[in-house]
Structure formats: structure tokens, C-alpha cells
A and B are shown apart, each in its own frame.
Chain A
């Protein structure tokens, strides 16, 4: 009986699943369309095995579980199609099918074990329940069902089985039970894949990998790509520049889900709700109303239409369904492909809580681009609705009127250096080696100390440098992250026009935000420069033996806080640590450092939007510092300095790398300025 039923079941499930898949593709294609190049699907296997799996492998246990479950399923499904579907009942194939099902069964057990909820092993809060909990059972049903129905092929007959099962049931009843289990498995695995069940992640994920909007992320041969190909580093390029917005487009930014590019909708749909983004998000940890995982699910709700009532994970803190809200359950937020997202589906505060630190993107095994989506939605709020949070709007107004977010006189950009006689590039028509880009930290008294230290180091190293002075404008970073692409592009064009008038070999800056924007984002507007962060440049000075430092007078323990825009955005983890090593101080690493560094809370205009939460992000970061026992935290970003210094005393000292080096500097005999060659970009993990 099963022999006639099985092909029908398998092909019916395939057909139903395929129908759902076609419908799903239509849902994605509601977005802004680019031509669908089907050929790109061929890229998928390599991207899965190479890039996606390496991110999954940061959690070894989960990686093995997934290999067993997914690998077992794919093999079992393919073999089942041949053996049961087309009826080629070859004992060898049957044996392989049994093995594949068994492997999948073992994987499924591991999946279930991870999801147990016992006093010793509480259910991991990052995971979702609901359909995902059901999936763990369905995996068992499928693998077990497939195993049992395949037994006859290698010689076990129902007659043998009867011996195993209670004889009263008889073969017929057993077959019905077996068929029911198998139907359950097939419904979940094949029909559910097309119709939006949890297995959708395999189907949407495959397409997402193939049609990813940032193909550079998968390109190992990209000039930016990391030279090391180990498991837990980034493999392809760090494609982190925001996409430029066409300011003549009909709608500016994303108002409704259909305004996203279709690849973005596809990306949202690929989410497995593993919650890795949730556990690294600084805003979520601070109790601000943003959970990146829920946000992506909100986007899926918007794309498919309906409410978030079926979501079974953690919500946005402070909102219905959030961990600290009395109102239980979801369903208060609704959306549709052509309905405005804010505020019915996502509340504006959720979008403004993001610090654009990219921790979620870095951690996402599906390589979903959360930050792009958030900035797209912010663009609509700022450019069309004019509802930027108050201080953000004031900063934008100042940028328009004075070219800096503080509304200060741009001519005072060099006031801190009145006694330093820093050369102006205007007086050096023959060109200089280094153009020192000051950034808006030049207006901040704390950062001015860093800049003075940096100037001291440059002088000690005999570097031929100059500054733009009052001709320097804000890079536009904060305007861009707040969604004001118009102001950003205006500033970018003006800065590029200014820079084109002068000759310099490279730009050095102490501000990772300027570093990122000048180095990575101006390219789209015709500004291609060699930009170095001061940590890289100081490391080069040490390498070249151009500066020397005295050994520390007393032993000091230092920890280093990786700025997001230097580390995760640009892959510079090694140079700052090299500088610290050159100083001869004891360096302890925080638990979250390198590519997993926790944001200081000051990026992406978050310090301006200032969304209230349960804790402050810099306080949490300072707690990380305290745990290491370090007495000094070395920083490399004016924003991080400001945020961490905002933590109440007593706390470890906060010193910029430049300050640490300048303190220890041994003044050499006057050196002859020479032009040093730039070394290739560093992207290495701290040891």
C-alpha cells in the first residue's frame, strides 16, 4: 500500500511546495525590481558552503547540528525522490537513504536538545518558539518516517516490522501511522518550504545568497578581502558603504515594504530567527525598543501582509511583546506591502535606536543587511516626513548652515592648534605626503587633546603633513546615518571639490567615521583617496622605525575598545593592537572585542536621537572594560571617547591611542621628512 502511496505523497508535496514557492517569489518581486538573472542561482552552493557556513561555524555545536540535519535532509530527499518517487528500489540507494535519514535524525535530536527547557538548561532566549519549536519535532517525524518506510528496500519487510510493533495493530494500521508521520514531515519540509513555514529559510536563503545585493561580500579575491581564510573572520570584502540614494527618484527612501529593493525583501524572508543579532545588538541589550530579529520579522509581515501575532520570539523592548512590558503577546502591529511601515508596523523609535554598529550584520548567518534597511526607512522619515528626532534635525540644520553639526564657525576648526603652527595645504601647492583630516572632533575640547597628541607624533616621525583648516567640512557621516542623504551628498560633493584642488599622497584621520566615509563612501561620488586611520598610520611609523617610545614607567594593564567604523566597517583590528604592543603595555582583551566589539552607543546619530532605555550603552561597555581589570581603556575614535567618558567616575582612564603614544614618545633628533610607501590594508584578528 505504501509503495503506491509514497510517490503520490512525494510528488503532491513537491507540487504544492512549488506552487507556494512561485507565490513567495511573487511576494519578493513586489519590491523594486532589477532583472532576475537566474544564472546567479549557480553561485548559491559555493556561497553557502564558503561564506554562510563559516558564520554558522562560529557556534561549533550548531554548525555540526546544521550539517547533519540539512545535509541529511538534502541527501534523503534526493534519494527518496529516486527510490520512492521514481520507484528505482535499488538496495544500495536504499542503504544510502537509510544512512541519510539516520544522520538527519541525529541532527534533529540535537536541534531538539538545544530547544529543551529545563532548570539546568533554560530555553535560549534568542530563539523563537511557535513554528520553530514545531520544526524541531517535524525534523524527527520526517527523518524517522523516511527511515522506516525505506527499511523494506534493504530487506526489512512489514512482516519483520510487525515483530517490532505491537502485533495487535497489524501491518495495515502500522502503515497508516507511518504514512501519517511521513505526511507530517513532508508537509513541514516541502509544502512548508514554499508556503512560508520555518523551512522557508532554506528556499529563501538559497535565493538570497544567489541574489545578494552586496556580491562583494562573497568575493574572496576582492582587493579588500581578508588574506586569512579561517573560519571566524570575514571572508569576502567588507562591503559596508551605504548605497547612494537617487535624489531625483519618485519616493525618497522606504515608506512601505514595496519600496525596498526586491533583493532586500528576499533577504528579510531568509531569516532563520536564530537570534544571533538579538544577542549582540547594543540597543536591545540596553532595553531600547529595537530587536533586530523582530525588525526583520516585521519586514516579513509587511511584505506578506497581516499582523505580527504569529511571531514567537522576543519583541522590541518597551513594546507589546517586549520582555519588560506587561502587555503580553503580539498582534498590535500590522502591515502590508503598500502600507506605510511607520508607525503601524514599526515604531519610529525602533529605527532611531540603531547605532548602525553592524554587529547584527556581522553576526547574521544569513548575511541579512539590517543596517541598510534601517537607514532606508530613516531616509524616508527624514527626507519626506521631516520627522528626524529633534537634536538630529538641529544637527542637520547646522550642517546645512555651517558645515559642522554643532553650528560652530568653521573658521574656528583650528583654534586648538593656534600655537602649533600647523602647515596649511593651501600654502603647499607642490603637495604633501599626508593630509591630516581633523573631523568634527576638532571642535570638541576632549578630542583636541587627541589631535594635539597626533600632531606631536607626526612631527616626531618627521611626517610631511598639512591640514585643510576652515576649508574642511563635516564628512557627512551623521547626516547620512540620520537619513539625510541630500545633505550628505551636498557635503560630499563640496569636500571632493575642495580635495581636488590640492595634492597629497594620502589622508590620515583620527576619526573612524571620517575614515569610513572618505575611504569607502566618497568613491560613489567621484572621490577616490588613500585614507589611513591614525592607528594604522602610527603602526606604520613604528614599523618604519620613525618613532620610538620609552618603556612604561610602571606596569599598566590596558584594554582596547574597537570602534565599529574602524573594525567591523573597515576590518582594521590589527594596527591598534600593534601600536599597543609597541608601547610595551599589558593588553587584556574584553570578551567582546575585535569583530564582536560592543558599540559605545555613539554611532549612527544614536547619541542625537537618544532613545531612552533601561541602561546606557556606554555604561554597559564600561562594565565590559571593568571586567578585564584594566586601568586604562585605549580608544581610537572621538565618538567612543566622548561616550565612554560620559560614564560616571570611578572608572578606568580613557585615552586615545595617539595620547598613549605621545605620552611615551622619545623625541628623536630632527628627522628628514621622507615619503613612506603605504602598506597593504590590514585585516587580521587579534591573537
Chain B
């Protein structure tokens, strides 16, 4: 069934960030975030609201946020979109602000991209938010199949076009994959009508304001690393296709099924030790 036929829609927010065009480096909609907004519009229509934590003085950021608001067309109602801009400076930590805001506004479903295209781009915001709020998180989501007041059924994208169906309890955070439906055009009129509301009255503990980890970092431009070429020696078209379509070249994994949670945890710990991710003494 299409998501719009869902009877009840939980309060939904899409978190968006400023994208960076791969050729020109100009700010614009981020590809995955735009897909998250598209998914939200398809799910709850004009009820969707957007959120971003950033510097309200930044003009190019404003223009970029307007581009997301420009997607509010073709909906039942013509009011224009709303975006809450949580004011902060570049040194501040976005996570506590976003968490406080989400908690305060009674949101039950958060859609966002997997990773920002500029700034730290660590891909951690979703996990940190979910951890702080105690919510579930699903990443690499390609589509929402069904949504009601208590749970959401999604399709998660796996390598080689495989999909996995997940049913997740609400509230939850969904990180949208780049294979999700392409975002609709951003139009000038709706962008002009959309409102950006500045949020400054979040109750935050003072130590949560500044990004403490960031202060000690050293910054340098990223270097492009050479990529290993994958030479496929096969005369067989099917093999060549599979090799070309494969996302991961991991070959020595195992698929474990029908384990109890304890057994599964033991296996994982053993694997992490073997890979030297965990020191032998860690528990």
C-alpha cells in the first residue's frame, strides 16, 4: 500500500543540512536530505516540518534552507512549509539542540540523510541523536511501506539491489539512502512562501552547548586516495555483472542464523577481537 493511505500519521520531522555541489562546491540541497524530505512529503504531506541547527546569520545557508522549503508543492494545502532553525554557531554541538527540540515538540518520526555533505560529515548525528533520545534508528532506508501511530515498516537498501523489510517501533529515526525516490523539484514560489522560524529558547545545560570534542581537532583538507582497481577475469557476463554490481568485496564473512541473543553477542565480540577492534581484555 502507498504510504499516503496510512490512517494515522505520527508527527514527522525531516532534518536537513546544507549540501555541497560536487562540481561547483556551492551550497544547495543535500542529495540524501532532499530524499528524506521527499519521503516525508509523500508520507504526511504538508504536515511535515523541517529542522536544521545552524548559524542564522549565514545567507547562503538561508538560501539553501529555502530550497528545501521549495519542495512544498503538489500537496493538499498551499500554506507553504515550515522550517525550525535552531540557532547555533559553528563551534556548537548540534546534537543536544536537536535532541532538546525534538523532545520538546513531541515528534515521533524523524527522517534525515545518512551523512552531511560538508562540515564534519561523520554520519554520526543520527546515531548520537537516537542514543540521546533512546529511540530506534534505521539507516539506509529506501522506502517507507506503511506507517501508523505505533510503528513504521520500511525497506532497507542492501548491496546488489537487495532490500530488507524492517518493522520499527515509534518513536524512531530513519536515515534515508540515496536509492530512495528522487526528490521533487524545488520551486521558487513555495520557497518564497515557506517560513523559517528561529528557535532560540531551548533549555540546554551549559556544558552541552559547545562541541567539546571538536576543540582539540586538527583540520586539514581531505586528500583523494587512490582506488584499487577491481580486475575481473571472467568471460562470463553474469559474473562480470555481479562483480560490477557488488558493493562490498568482503569474501570471508559468515551468515549466522537461529542464534540466541547471548550466542550472537559472543560471536560478535569474538569477531571484533579477531579484527582487533576490541582489545583482548575488553568486555
Which of A386, A403, A407, A410 makes the CB contact (< 8 A) with B186? A386
- Per-residue CB proximity of A398-410 to B under 8 Å, as 1/0? 0011110001111
Q: How far is the CB of A552 from chain B (nearest CB, A)?
A: 44
Interface stretch of the complex, out of A101-109, A295-303, A377-385, A629-637: A377-385
B190 at the interface (CB under 8 A from A): yes
Cα-based distance from A401 to B74 in the complex (angstroms): 24
Instruction: Tell me whether B188 and A409 are in contact (CB under 8 A).
Output: no
Chain A neighbourhood of B192, CB < 8 A = 247
Instruction: Tell me whether B74 and A402 are in contact (CB under 8 A).
Output: no
Which of A384, A403, A407, A410 makes the CB contact (< 8 A) with B190? A384
Instruction: Tell me whether B188 and A401 are in contact (CB under 8 A).
Output: no
Instruction: Tell me whether A401 and B24 are in contact (CB under 8 A).
Output: yes
Given A384-B73, A386-B71, A386-B73, do A401 and B189 touch, yes or no (CB 8 Å)? no
Instruction: Tell me whether B74 and A386 are in contact (CB under 8 A).
Output: yes
Q: How far is the CB of B227 from chain A (nearest CB, A)?
A: 21
Which of A387, A401, A484 makes the CB contact (< 8 A) with B21? A401
A570 at the interface (CB under 8 A from B): no
- State which residues 422-447 of A face B: CB under 8 Å: none
Q: Which residue of B lies closest to A382 (CB)?
A: B187
Q: Which residue of A lies closest to B20 (CB)?
A: A401
Chain A neighbourhood of B71, CB < 8 A = 386
Which of A252, A402, A403 makes the CB contact (< 8 A) with B188? A252
Instruction: Tell me whether A400 and B28 are in contact (CB under 8 A).
Output: yes
Instruction: Tell me whether B187 and A401 are in contact (CB under 8 A).
Output: no
Chain B neighbourhood of A65, CB < 8 A = none
Given A401-B28, A486-B188, do A387 and B23 touch, yes or no (CB 8 Å)? no
Q: Give the size of the chain A interface in residues (CB under 8 angstroms).
A: 22
Chain B neighbourhood of A403, CB < 8 A = 24
Instruction: Tell me whether A401 and B185 are in contact (CB under 8 A).
Output: no
B150 at the interface (CB under 8 A from A): no
Q: How far is the CB of B107 from chain A (nearest CB, A)?
A: 26
B79 at the interface (CB under 8 A from A): no
B70 at the interface (CB under 8 A from A): yes
Instruction: Tell me whether A393 and B28 are in contact (CB under 8 A).
Output: no
Given A384-B189, A384-B190, do A401 and B26 touch, yes or no (CB 8 Å)? yes
Q: Give the size of the chain B interface in residues (CB under 8 angstroms).
A: 17
Chain A neighbourhood of B189, CB < 8 A = 252, 383-384
A388 at the interface (CB under 8 A from B): yes
Which of B21, B26, B185 makes the CB contact (< 8 A) with A393? B185
User: Of residues A252, A383, A396, which shows the largest number of chain B Cβ atoms within 10 Å of its Cβ?
Assistant: A383
Q: How far is the CB of B40 from chain A (nearest CB, A)?
A: 16
Q: Which residue of A lies closest to B63 (CB)?
A: A400
Given A383-B189, A384-B189, do A402 and B184 touch, yes or no (CB 8 Å)? no
Given A386-B70, A386-B73, A386-B74, do A409 and B185 touch, yes or no (CB 8 Å)? no
Chain B neighbourhood of A401, CB < 8 A = 21, 23-24, 26, 28
Instruction: Tell me whether A402 and B23 are in contact (CB under 8 A).
Output: yes
Instruction: Tell me whether B188 and A383 are in contact (CB under 8 A).
Output: yes
- Per-residue CB proximity of A440-458 to B under 8 Å, as 1/0? 0000000000000000000
Q: How far is the CB of B205 from chain A (nearest CB, A)?
A: 39
- Per-residue CB proximity of A260-272 to B under 8 Å, as 1/0? 0000000000000
- State which residues 22-50 of B face A: CB under 8 Å: 23-24, 26, 28
Q: Which residue of B lies closest to A394 (CB)?
A: B185
Chain A neighbourhood of B185, CB < 8 A = 386-388, 393, 396-397
Cα-based distance from A382 to B189 in the complex (angstroms): 9
Chain B neighbourhood of A385, CB < 8 A = 73-74, 187
Given A400-B28, A401-B28, do A383 and B187 touch, yes or no (CB 8 Å)? yes
Instruction: Tell me whether B23 and A386 are in contact (CB under 8 A).
Output: no
Q: Which residue of A lies closest to B184 (CB)?
A: A386
Instruction: Tell me whether B73 and A410 are in contact (CB under 8 A).
Output: no
A to B contact number (C-beta, < 8 Å): 53
Q: Which residue of A lies closest to B73 (CB)?
A: A386
Chain A neighbourhood of B21, CB < 8 A = 401-402
Q: How far is the CB of A151 from chain B (nearest CB, A)?
A: 65
Chain A neighbourhood of B28, CB < 8 A = 397, 400-401
Which of A252, A382, A384, A409 makes the CB contact (< 8 A) with B23? A409
Cα-based distance from A493 to B193 in the complex (angstroms): 23
- State which residues 169-202 of B face A: CB under 8 Å: 184-190, 192
Q: Which residue of A lies closest to B27 (CB)?
A: A401
Instruction: Tell me whether B187 and A409 are in contact (CB under 8 A).
Output: no
Cα-based distance from A484 to B24 in the complex (angstroms): 21
Chain B neighbourhood of A486, CB < 8 A = 188
Chain B neighbourhood of A402, CB < 8 A = 21, 23-24, 26
Q: How far is the CB of A592 from chain B (nearest CB, A)?
A: 36
Instruction: Tell me whether B24 and A384 are in contact (CB under 8 A).
Output: no
Q: Which residue of A lies closest to B71 (CB)?
A: A386
Cα-based distance from A386 to B194 in the complex (angstroms): 14
Which of A247, A384, A407, A410 makes the CB contact (< 8 A) with B187? A384
Chain A neighbourhood of B73, CB < 8 A = 384-386
Q: How far is the CB of A515 from chain B (nearest CB, A)?
A: 26
Cα-based distance from A319 to B24 in the complex (angstroms): 43
Chain A neighbourhood of B187, CB < 8 A = 382-386
Chain B neighbourhood of A408, CB < 8 A = 23
Chain B neighbourhood of A387, CB < 8 A = 74, 185
Q: How far is the CB of B6 from chain A (nearest CB, A)?
A: 24
Chain A neighbourhood of B24, CB < 8 A = 401-403, 409-410
- State which residues 114-152 of B face A: CB under 8 Å: none
Q: Which residue of B lies closest to A248 (CB)?
A: B192
Instruction: Tell me whether A407 and B23 are in contact (CB under 8 A).
Output: yes
Chain A neighbourhood of B186, CB < 8 A = 386, 397
Chain A neighbourhood of B23, CB < 8 A = 401-402, 407-409
Instruction: Tell me whether B190 and A386 are in contact (CB under 8 A).
Output: yes
Chain A neighbourhood of B74, CB < 8 A = 385-387
Q: How far is the CB of A384 from chain B (nearest CB, A)?
A: 4
Q: How far is the CB of A498 from chain B (nearest CB, A)?
A: 16
Q: How far is the CB of A402 from chain B (nearest CB, A)?
A: 5
Cα-based distance from A401 to B28 in the complex (angstroms): 7
Q: How far is the CB of B24 from chain A (nearest CB, A)?
A: 5
- State which residues 62-81 of B face A: CB under 8 Å: 70-71, 73-74
User: Of residues B23, B28, B70, B184, which shows the largest number of chain A Cβ atoms within 10 Å of its Cβ?
Assistant: B23
Q: How far is the CB of A244 from chain B (nearest CB, A)?
A: 14
Q: Which residue of B lies closest to A484 (CB)?
A: B188
Q: How far is the CB of A493 from chain B (nearest CB, A)?
A: 15
Q: How far is the CB of B143 from chain A (nearest CB, A)?
A: 20
User: Of residues B28, B70, B187, B192, which shows the largest number of chain A Cβ atoms within 10 Å of its Cβ?
Assistant: B187
Cα-based distance from A397 to B184 in the complex (angstroms): 11
Q: How far is the CB of B28 from chain A (nearest CB, A)?
A: 6
Chain A neighbourhood of B184, CB < 8 A = 386
Q: How far is the CB of A392 from chain B (nearest CB, A)?
A: 9
Cα-based distance from A598 to B26 in the complex (angstroms): 40
Cα-based distance from A658 to B192 in the complex (angstroms): 45
User: Of residues A384, A387, A407, A410, which shows the largest number of chain B Cβ atoms within 10 Å of its Cβ?
Assistant: A384
- State which residues 218-258 of A face B: CB under 8 Å: 247, 252
- State which residues 197-243 of B face A: CB under 8 Å: none
- Per-residue CB proximity of B8-25 to A under 8 Å, as 1/0? 000000000000010110
- State which residues 32-62 of A face B: CB under 8 Å: none
Q: How far is the CB of A390 from chain B (nearest CB, A)?
A: 9
Closest 5 CB pairs of A and B: A386-B187, A384-B189, A386-B185, A486-B188, A401-B21
On A, residues with C-beta under 8 Å from B are: 247, 252, 382-388, 393, 396-397, 400-403, 407-410, 484, 486
A selection of 28 A-B contacts at a CB cut-off of 8 Å is A247-B188, A247-B192, A252-B189, A382-B187, A383-B187, A383-B189, A384-B73, A384-B187, A385-B74, A386-B73, A386-B184, A387-B185, A388-B185, A396-B185, A401-B21, A401-B23, A401-B24, A401-B26, A401-B28, A402-B21, A402-B23, A402-B26, A407-B23, A409-B23, A409-B24, A410-B24, A484-B188, A486-B188
Given contacts A385-B73, A386-B186, 8 further A-B contacts (CB under 8 A): A252-B188, A252-B189, A383-B189, A384-B73, A386-B74, A386-B187, A401-B21, A401-B28
